[in-house]
Chain A
Amino acid sequence: MPADEPPADFDTVYAAQYADLTVQLYAYFGDRQEAQDVVQEAFCRALRRWSKVARYDDPVAWVRRVAWNLAVSRWRRSRTALSFLRRQPPREPHVEGPTTERIELVEALATLPPVQRRAVVLHYLGDMSVAEIAEREQVAVGTVKSWLHRGRAGLAVQLHQPEHPEVRRA
């Protein structure tokens, strides 16, 4: 962040990013409440040291990274898996009547290995390029392309769609 710019305001960042991050993690977890808890926890951790985080070049990236780190921790994964199994059925609560397609997509995502699922979610919902995902995951660009390719193939099978290899943006 340039020196002449004021530090980011916590409330503004929260309002702008909470929902987007929650949707990404919802797609990853398959559990909206779990996603909300993780994102809220990430913002709590950011708030505790906001005077520093606000001065980072990209405070949102810090929050996003913490949220995803929380999401992929073993404890969270175990808990989510148990929670997911306990909820079979009735699956996701039908508050607003989610479409069958949407549930199928979330369930199809749940069948992917974690790294593929994460790459697919970051790419399609986090709007991150292959290079950005590679940097975040500290792997080669080719590795991310491979994850995305296999992730798409897996989703295509689950959703009964024809597979195609195109990368949306790299």
Chain B
Amino acid sequence: MPDQLSPLFDDLRGRALPQVRPPGPDAARRTVHRRATVRASVLAAVVLAAFGTFVVTQRTSGGTVLPAASASAGPSASSDLEPGRLDEAGPSASSDLEPGRLDEAGPSASSEFGSGRLDKAEVAAALVPGATYTDEMDASGQNVELEAAEGLYRLTVGCSGPASLPFTIMLDDQVDQDGVLDCTDDGEAGDYEFTMPREGTVTVVFDQGGQFDAYALKLTKL
């Protein structure tokens, strides 16, 4: 006995298919690019606000603010502490250092903050002056897309965090080269040169092995 529904579904498919108007793969690319830009902007604003808060806190409490370059050289004390964002580090991270004094002295009582230690996102950003994109790795890999015209480029990647950060540089979906940064709490940066054969998209594909690392990018036309 033939299935009487099959012709109805075949008819539905046959008539509906011509009416579908795909927005197109370029629209998908624009959407992904726009979202990446928004994410980068939000993150940059958060990092800036956190850093501004940190500076203001230091100044109002009479602490010493060291320049970012000094901070990236790495803290000598309390290296067993997990580096984190300023708002995460807070009192709990400081409590091991100055127990019982937090309420009175606040964050400046902590040698972490007193030494001007930055969080990993700031360390990564400090390693890439003029970075146009910063983010932090989560449990999955991340792609960052950068538009580029034809020509020779240098991609500077800086990172800070607990794990090595492997990544691949792709030019218009074609693999150009692989890289890996050791990161560490003090951070590490590297330069990677490549030639764009034509105007297109440079995609930096970060592998999930670098989970919890913070990274910063800057693409420079040479």
Q: Could you list which residues of chain A lie within 8 angstroms of chain B, going by C-beta atoms?
A: 9-11, 14-15, 18-20, 22-23, 26-27, 32, 36, 40, 43-44, 47-52, 95-96, 98-99, 101-102, 105-106, 120, 124-125, 152, 155-156, 159, 161-162, 164, 166, 168
How far, in whole Å, are A152 and B205 apart by their CA atoms in the complex?
A: 46
B76 CB within 8 Å of chain A: no
- Residues of B with C-beta under 8 A to A101: 8, 11
B interface list, Cβ under 8 A from A = 1-6, 8-9, 11-13, 15-25, 27-29, 31-32, 35, 140-141, 143, 168, 170, 173, 203, 205
Tell me whether chain A's interface is mostly helix, strand or loop, or mixed.
Answer: helix
Closest residue of B by beta carbon distance from A161: B4
Q: Are A105 and B20 in contact (CB under 8 A)?
A: no
- Among B4, B13, B15, B140, contact of A125 (Cβ-Cβ < 8 Å): B13
Closest to A98 in B: B15
Chain A: minimal CB distance from B34 (Å): 10
Residue contact B168 to A22, C-beta cutoff 8 Å: no
B24 shortest CB reach to chain A, Å: 8
B-side contacts of A44, CB under 8 Å: 28, 31-32, 35
16 contacts between A and B (CB under 8 A): A18-B22, A20-B17, A26-B16, A32-B19, A40-B27, A40-B31, A43-B28, A48-B35, A51-B168, A51-B170, A105-B8, A105-B9, A124-B6, A161-B5, A162-B4, A164-B1
Report Cα–Cα, A102/B5, bound state, in Å: 12
Interface contacts (Cβ under 8 Å), in number, total 107
Residues of B within 8 A of A22 (CB): 16, 20, 22
A125, B12: Cβ atoms under 8 Å? yes
**B168 proximity list for chain A (CB < 8 A):** 51
Q: Are A11 and B25 in contact (CB under 8 A)?
A: yes
Alpha-carbon separation in the docked complex, A16 to B18 (Å): 13
**Contact with A96, one of B1, B19, B27, B28 (Cβ below 8 angstroms):** B19
A40 to B170, CA, bound (A): 23
Q: Are A124 and B20 neighbours in the complex by a CB distance under 8 Å?
A: no
Q: Is there an interface contact between B17 and A96, defined as CB atoms closer than 8 Å?
A: no
Q: A101-B8, A106-B12, A166-B3 are in contact. Are A47 and B28 (CB under 8 A)?
A: yes
Closest residue of chain A to B18 (Cβ to Cβ) is A96
The reply to whether B28 and A14 form a contact with Cβ atoms under 8 Å apart is yes
Question: Could you tell me the distance between the alpha carbons of A166 and B5 in the complex, rounded to whole angstroms?
Answer: 10
- A43–B168 Cα distance when bound, in Å, is 21
Q: CB distance A49 to B19 under 8 Å?
A: no
Contact B22 A23 (CB under 8 A): no
- Rank and list the top 8 A-B pairs by shortest CB-CB distance, nearest first: A124-B9, A19-B20, A18-B22, A14-B25, A51-B205, A23-B16, A11-B25, A22-B20
